[in-house]
Structure 1
Amino acid sequence: MLSKSTNDKGLTYADAGVDIDAGNKAVELMKDSVKATYRPEVLGDLGGFGGLFSLCESGLQHPILVSGTDGVGTKLRLAIMMNKHDTVGQDCVAMSINDVLVQGAEPLFFLDYIAVGKLDPIQVATIVKGVAHACEESGCALLGGETAEMAGFYAKDDYDLAGFGVGIVDRSKLITGEKLTAGDVLIGLPSTGIHSNGFSLVRKIVFERQKLDLQEYMEELHMSLGECLLTPTRLYPKPCLPIIRNFDVKGMVHITGGGFYENIPRVFPKGKKLGVEIDVTAWPQLPIFELLQKWGGVDDREMYRTFNMGIGMIMMVAKEEADAVMADLAKRNEKAYYIGTVVESDVPVTLRGGAFDD
């Protein structure tokens, strides 16, 4: 039999750094935000062991579920430094939901995972409110999630945020890249900024090379540096889903880590020698990329290999449909640019214009 000193007070989970009451308070604070995302297919309520979602009403002949998972990455360090946690939830949703979208799938539901050193109910509820807002904007339900208080593993003010999303598409509308041919047109949709990749390089440039203050107002950006860097990743379901439903989209690319050079070749069908030629002057340059390149002395290829450079999503369509796609986007006040074409080539990505023509 184990024994203890009669003078010792018995330990509790709270003594070990885990506050169950704070966790319950966080759930209560986020409940309304989560419920606002529910679609008719959601069964049950927040707080169960698993989220329930019915597919009976999909109406698709051959429904296929498409899943994606990602995190926010080291961009979180900037949110922690600025004590600003209301935007990173959208980053978390967008990184998965945009990946699901490129297969042609309508987002159905999303689940998040937050790991903290010390649970602050208001902070966690603020993060989840951002997740919920992004889910609502994307038309998908925030079906559940997990908040883990990991005392002694994360520092007191540190946290990590990740999640995964699930979408649905009829097999006949699945976007695989198999139908891509030379002559197809690339239509680019603008990004809101850096989105959520490349922040290890951003932090090295901003903090180590330039030793800048995130609170500093930048005339070129019309806001503080920190506000610009924390601009959340754009959500693309609203602009893209009507195009996917009404046109023959042959390929889509979400420009994330790896930029243009790594992401675009992922959509090419095996066995075909295809590449793309892109005119980098076809869309406006965002000031933040110009500043980062100047501050870090980063060469052009490295910039386009790391960042989205102002284009967050690419749709590839037949030349005959391109004008109609652009007109549809314009009718809905969505900006888009002709940025290039698919070509027969052994080189997957060729960038032209600007410094690439020097």
Structure 2
Amino acid sequence: MDKIRKNHHYVSQSYLKAWAHNHHRIWTYRTLVSHSAVPEWEQSSIRSIANHQHLFTRNIMGNDSDEFEKWMDKEIESPAQIALSKARSHSPLNKHELEHLLRFVALHDIRSPASYIEHLKRWGLEMPGIVEGAMQSAISKIEAEQYRTHFSVPETNPDSEMIPMRVTKEIEDKSEVGILKTEVLLGRGLWLFSIRHLLSNTYKVLNKHVWSILHAPEGMGWITSDNPVLKLNYYKAGSYDFKGGWGNKGSEIIFPISPELLLYSQVGNNTRINTVSRELATALNRFIAENAHRHVFGSKPIAEISEILPRTVDKVAFDDEKREWGTWHARQKESEKGYQK
């Protein structure tokens, strides 16, 4: 059996290499460290940063599979390389190249640990209602079919088998009615289904926006992070959040593509931006840093980052998080036992 890919990058190495220098190393600022003696900025190999073991591994019929990791590489990362290279070299992109680049942006918005944590919170609030609505819809369709002479074939999502789901019936003896119980496991399987769905369909809304490539002012450079796509809602000076959406009117979508260039769009605004002031560039870099999860990346150390995003020194929290990701795969596999795959 061929060896599967185990080291999964949630920020592409091809993306980070724009900030890397000698021997593919990149300056890294960590937001959580185990000891105050850890330098604020360190050089990290892009091969060893922004990745976790088995982050996107699926368990299929009891066997580990890296088909999802390969799918992202083949369908999104590899096709985006020409567009990424052309954009970085100031060459115009055709329609198809721009779409490849925007799908690459979508990928980096939704496959990070920060995105997973956000999804988990939202699922905890919304999933009971979603499951209840789906069950009621299914029951209504079943009841409607009883009065038809020809039965329709139910529509199915080909990726729905990725969702860890368990359906059980509870019917007492001699009873004609019972309870149909549906359970959905909130974890990796549901996350991978969500990623596949968004990258196969929903991302296309990005094609409808007008995009600008902003050059950093002379003497400045764009930073990036392990959560590199910003969806900024800016209300007024000092009032903003990062809860915007791909199709939310007024939301600003920001994605640095190199220390010199940044991809930008404001949903619903058809005006392209050609220049950016030092004041605006400083604000954008601040937003990029604040949106980081555990790492800020730069082509050089930037002293101001520690003021914008003071790091947390906590050995217990650091060790706990390291252990959580170290046992991620084993815990996800164990929790998915007994669920439909």
Output the TM-score relative to the length of structure 2.
0.23
Which has the larger share of helix? 2
**TM-score, normalising length from structure 1?**
0.22
